[in-house]
Amino acid sequence: MRLDGQVAMITGAARSLGRSHALTFAREGADLLLVDRCRQDGPYPLAERRELEETAAACRRTGSRVVTAVADVRDRSAVEAAVAAGLAEFGRIDVLVNNAGLLAPGGVRSHELSEDDWNLVIDVNLNGTWRCCRAVLPHMVARRSGTIVNTASTGGRVAFEMYSSYVASKHGVVGLTKALALEYGRHGIRVNAVCPSTVAADDGLGSHSTRAVARTMGSSLEDYERSSSSYHAIGRLVTAQEVSAACLWLAGPESGGTTGTELLVDGGFTAR
């Protein structure tokens, strides 16, 4: 039980990678503050409150104590209220996993993006990550302990076409991670990023983003995943569970000497 007695806050927790992270952390003994926006008005179908509660129920079945909170990471006051709810219930937040993010709007050349579309991705992926860090860091500083795992992407290490706002936001997350690691290491706080490549769709986790990318490419999910797999040295896409295992390692005691880095979980995608 690598996280026994720990409390972890996970954003974007209702489904997909967030649900996988929540279940992985719960099985390793963590109590959980699970946060999601729970509204449907997005560039592709986003999670509902029902899905957040389903994730929470699955985690409780492992013995984990769970608090859920509805918050948009673009809203500072909502993020702070979610953190306050977690502190009121558990008295501490030991781990923050910044998982909330958007891949789209995208699939077009940069000059075809509207300013609103550009700002949406930057505000969720980069600014939202900063807002959540900002909300938990005073508590971690006071306790002189804490770990933060930010979700970047292979798009935070290399560029690819038609998703410039996403690439820019994830490069920003990597830079933010390094800056925070330098600022807060003296307070006993470690900050790292995980960089997954395309994650295989998993119906059990309610995945939607990979399907959304396939649609923008005019492809079926099956054809898109088959084509994308060919760019990975292992000949397949990575799984949500593999990304969650990396987050668990970064959050747990085995990575105690690791901070300010980005851990690639990309099946060799960036090795080319």
* Spatial distance between the Cα atoms of 130 and 151, rounded to a whole number of angstroms: 12
- Report in angstroms the alpha-carbon separations of 201 from 82, 205, 222, 237, 263: 29, 8, 10, 9, 21
| Domain CATH code at residue 113 | 3.40.50.720
- Report in angstroms the alpha-carbon separations of 229 from 51, 127, 217, 271: 29, 31, 15, 14
Q: Are strands 262-265 and 146-151 parallel, antiparallel or unpaired?
A: unpaired
Q: Could you read off the pLDDT tens digit of each residue along the chain, which spans 272 residues?
A: 999 999 999 999 999 999 999 999 999 999 999 999 998 777 667 788 999 999 999 999 999 999 999 999 999 999 999 999 999 999 999 999 999 999 888 889 999 999 999 999 999 999 999 999 999 999 999 999 999 999 999 999 999 999 999 999 999 999 999 999 999 999 999 999 999 999 998 888 877 677 777 777 778 889 889 999 999 999 999 999 999 999 999 999 999 999 999 999 999 999 98
The pTM of this model reads 0.95
Which residue is catalytic, options 166, 184, 224, 231? 166
Please indicate, yes or no, if residue 212 is contained in any of the structural domains.
Answer: yes
Please indicate, yes or no, if residue 83 is contained in any of the structural domains.
Answer: yes
Q: Are strands 95-98 and 7-11 parallel, antiparallel or unpaired?
A: parallel
Please indicate, yes or no, if residue 272 is contained in any of the structural domains.
Answer: no
Please indicate, yes or no, if residue 1 is contained in any of the structural domains.
Answer: no
What tokens appear for 36 in the block? Answer: 């999601």
Residues 6+ apart with CB under 8 A from 214: 220, 221, 223, 224, 225
Please indicate, yes or no, if residue 124 is contained in any of the structural domains.
Answer: yes
Phi/psi of residue 138, each to 5°? -60, -40
Which amino acid makes up residue 189?
Answer: I
The span from the first CA to the last CA of the chain, in angstroms, equals 37
Q: Which domain covers residue 50, as residue numbers?
A: 7-258
Number of domains in the chain: 1
Please indicate, yes or no, if residue 268 is contained in any of the structural domains.
Answer: no
Residue 44 has a pLDDT of: 67
Question: 30-52 in b/e burial notation, b at 16+ Cβ within 10 A?
Answer: bbbbbbbbbeeebbeebbbeebb
Please indicate, yes or no, if residue 61 is contained in any of the structural domains.
Answer: yes
Residue 206 has a pLDDT of: 73
In the residue annotation, 166 being an active-site residue is answered as yes
Please indicate, yes or no, if residue 265 is contained in any of the structural domains.
Answer: no
CA atoms within 13 A on the CB side of 1: 12
